[in-house]
Amino acid sequence: MARSWRIGEREYQYVKQALDGGFPGSTDVNFTARLEETFAKRFDCRYAISHCNGTATIHSALASAGIEVDDEVIVPPLTFASTSLAVLHQNAVPIFADIDPQTFNIDPESIRQRITPRTKAIITVALYGLSPDMDPIMKLAAEHDLVVIEDAAQCFLGQYKGRTVGSIGHFGSFSFQNSKHITCGEGGMVTTNDREYADRVAQFASLGFGLVKAGAGKSLIDKRAIVHPSFKRHTSFGFNYRMGDLSAAVALAQLERLEDFVEWRTKSATALDQVVRDCSWLQPQHVPEDCLHSYWAYVVKLDTDNDAVTWDHFYDKYVELGGNGFYGAWSLTYLEPIFQDGTIGTKYESGICPVAERIQPQLMQFKTNLGNQEAINRQADILAETIRFFD
């Protein structure tokens, strides 16, 4: 019997197997290798390399792509700040491109305007579970010899023109943090189709151990060699970003149930969307016909020209009527204090991305991890009642 809609018996069974096996190295039980192999196949990539979290994944990708000090990396301003913080971890410079006013995703034309001789990479974000317009972004990258990292932390099984999000760029980055489609508390995964990139990621995430290879499953280090005093381990610089086998056991169990998790979130978003579609002053995130949304959250933009309702009034009424509440969009990254006060060495000013600055205060992010039809129906009914109150 499942313990909850998110954590079932399989997670407990796999954790017990990991504990009983004594962790990799002492037995053949290796959930990390199983997770990586299964993930790569499910996300249409040749390689998947597990990490301790979804910020480390972006850092590993940047390092493996050869991003160096003061290189410029183009990023969206409207997302969780870790996307840009990972750029700072590599001592590179985040350059913020504006967003599309309908999809709220990074705008390819704004990316084009930000490219300079110092630009080395682009990080896209599949915001709320919706892919950006990747074809023009990949075209720009090819024209200027740039690396593209897809931050797909919020997008599991989303698609762009029939392709799986996270398999389109040079790297994909996924998060298993506890709000995501699948979780092991904290964790992440890098995907790529390039063997050299994959090995670099695996080594960077393993303290620069030269004999670590992506997809190897078991250590390539001969046990007789490793005990010898002449053995050399570190052939490159790296961090300890590895995922533990207990986390991998939980993540694998979750991955094997991924379709169910995405289905429930889609059901939640669909129910909310049916309510919002009849409201003239709430604009849902636009989903192009050639994209498949995976709905980490269901997001609408409040029309601030409607004097009858404000963000605060809507939130208070929704909660008063029994709603779970919702989140406002994150403050634009470059408007966060550490990006404004010179803490990171560069001071960013307001006005960089006027579309994002206009839209961010208007967004309402509704939860989709409800897990049963009764809860979904209740939240949709409460949302409808809230809208009627202000109409």
Domains of the chain, with CATH numbers? 9-257 (3.40.640.10), 259-390 (3.90.1150.10)
Which H helix or E strand runs over 267?
helix 258-276
C-alpha distances (whole Å) from 126 to each of 80, 249, 276 are 12, 26, 22
Q: For residue 186, give the 3-state DSSP assignment.
A: coil
Alpha-carbon distance of 98 to 80, in angstroms, equals 15
Question: Which residue has better confidence, 391 or 24?
Answer: 391
Is 1's pLDDT higher than 50?
no
C-alpha distances (whole Å) from 161 to each of 128, 135, 154, 303, 367 are 18, 9, 18, 30, 26
Helix 245-255 / helix 9-21 crossing angle, nearest 10 deg: 150
C-alpha distances (whole Å) from 276 to each of 99, 129, 273, 336, 387 are 23, 18, 5, 31, 8
Is residue 232 very low, low, confident or very high in pLDDT (cuts 50, 70, 90)? confident
Instruction: Give the model confidence (pLDDT) of 288-299 as tens digits.
Output: 999 999 999 999
Which phi-psi region, left, alpha or beta, contains residue 166 (left: φ > 0; alpha: ψ -120 to 50)?
left
Q: Are strands 291-292 and 159-160 parallel, antiparallel or unpaired?
A: antiparallel
- Per the structure block, which two tokens stand in for 77? 């301003």
Alpha-carbon distance of 65 to 51, in angstroms, equals 17
What's the pTM?
0.95
Q: What is the pLDDT of residue 371?
A: 86
Residues shown for the chain:
391
- Per the structure block, which two tokens stand in for 140? 């720009």
Alpha-carbon distance of 343 to 202, in angstroms, equals 31
Instruction: Give the model confidence (pLDDT) of 275-320 as tens digits.
Output: 999 899 999 999 999 999 999 999 999 987 767 799 999 999 999 9
Contacts with 345 (C-beta within 8 Å, 6 or more apart), sequence order = none
